[in-house]
Each structure stands twice: as structure tokens, then as C-alpha cells.
Copies of this chain bind each other. A is one copy, B any other.
Amino acid sequence: MTGTAVESAAAQSKSQQAYTAVKARIVEGIYTPGYRLVLAKIAEDLGFSVVPVREAIRRLEAEGLVKFERNVGATVSGIDPTEYLYTMQTLSIVEGAATALSAPLIDSVAIARARAVNEEMRECLEHFDPVRFTALNQDFHSVLFEHCPNPHILDLVHRGWNRLASLRSSTFRFVPGRAQESVQEHEALLQLIESGADADTIEHAARRHRAATLDAYLATTN
């Protein structure tokens, strides 16, 4: 459904299934931030006992998608402005690095694909649909950083995106003016990569691109 890895659920451990299922519900926005994750209920929904569910929740906790309080329970991590700031800042750093490391490995086919996505985004500007726009935005950036040869960094990027995913409907809703600039910066980024710019330049551009979105958001709240 979404771009997340789909696994043949058959031979998977229930713990893993629970992890995937709950994560999907969070990312898809079915479990909204603040939502109370009652172990017994989730277990019943999925049709197995609470033990695998607990492990799944623990993993999600380590990833920062859920908050856990002893003897109280788990809730979907909120997106309070402070958290948003932290996450965006972190993402600006790791995604910038990932993009720079990835750049030399991006072939012309991938560039073309990214450009096509960006074109869709441009069209999307007319009759603005924040949800669709944000989805395309993720697609675009995925093309740029997915070739990152360092799996650790790539993992950090994915985790950052996941944390933002729960509010993806609102990212650009809150800063619609940012969307247009974003499309332009995407093209600039593509040209940098095409021209074989050095890693520092690309990293800086990618980081600034995201930091600018954060700044735009901050400007609206003040």
C-alpha cells in the first residue's frame, strides 16, 4: 500500500507481524498521536497474545514512534512543536549526509525519475493537496538518498521520515507557501547532482533545503 517494505507475512514471527502492523497503523495515521495503545486490545485485533505485541511496542519505543510509561501504557508519540523541531533538525543533518553520500551513485535514470516526481509536485501546486504533495515529496527525496552506501545513516533517515509520517498530512498544510520554493530547490538539487558537485556542496544544499522548511514552520508559529 505505502512504500514500506512488504513482507510475506506467512513465515514471519508474530512479534514481527505485530511490529509491522502497528507501525503501519501509526504511519498511515490510523493510530494518531496520543492514541493509547492498549496491549490486550491490539493483541485481540491481531488474533494473538500480548507477548509478541509487547516486544513489538518495545521496538517501536526504541525507534521513538511510541512513548512508554511503566505501569501506564504506550501511546503514539506526539508531534508537539518541540519534537517536530528536533526531528527536523536531526533529519536535516542525516538526510543531508545521506544525500551527499548517495549522489555519486545516482544514475541518469534515477535523476529522470526524480525530475518526473518533481514535475508532478509542480502540477500539484495548482489545486493544492497537502497530503499528495507530501507523499510526492517523500518519493522525491527517497530517490536521492536511497543509494546511500552506509546502511546506518540510511536507517536514521528512514526513522526520521517515519516520525514525521504521522503528521505528513499537515506538514505542507501548515506552510503552503513553502511548497513552491521546495519544488524549485528540488530542481537545483538535481542539477547539483547531475553536475557532479562535490559532497560538501550537495550536503549543504540538502541540509539547507530541509532546514528552510523547518524555518518556514517556525515562522508561522511565532
Contact with B along A73-102 (1 / 0, CB 8 A): 000000000000011011001100100000
The secondary-structure label for the interface of chain A is helix
A90 touching B152 by the CB < 8 A rule? yes
Tell me the minimal C-beta distance from A207 to chain B in angstroms: 9
B51 touching A86 by the CB < 8 A rule? no
Residue A63 interfacial (CB < 8 Å):
yes
Q: Which residues of B contact A54 (CB under 8 A)?
A: 55
Contact partner of A156 (CB less than 8 A), chosen from B13, B61, B70, B90, is B90
Chain A residues within CB distance 8 Å of chain B: 13, 15-16, 51, 54-55, 58-59, 61-64, 70, 86-87, 89-90, 93-94, 97, 150-153, 156
Beyond contacts A86-B152, A93-B153: 19 other A-B pairs, Cβ-Cβ < 8 A, are A13-B70, A16-B70, A51-B51, A54-B55, A55-B55, A55-B58, A58-B59, A59-B61, A59-B62, A62-B62, A64-B152, A86-B150, A86-B151, A86-B153, A89-B150, A90-B152, A94-B94, A94-B156, A156-B156
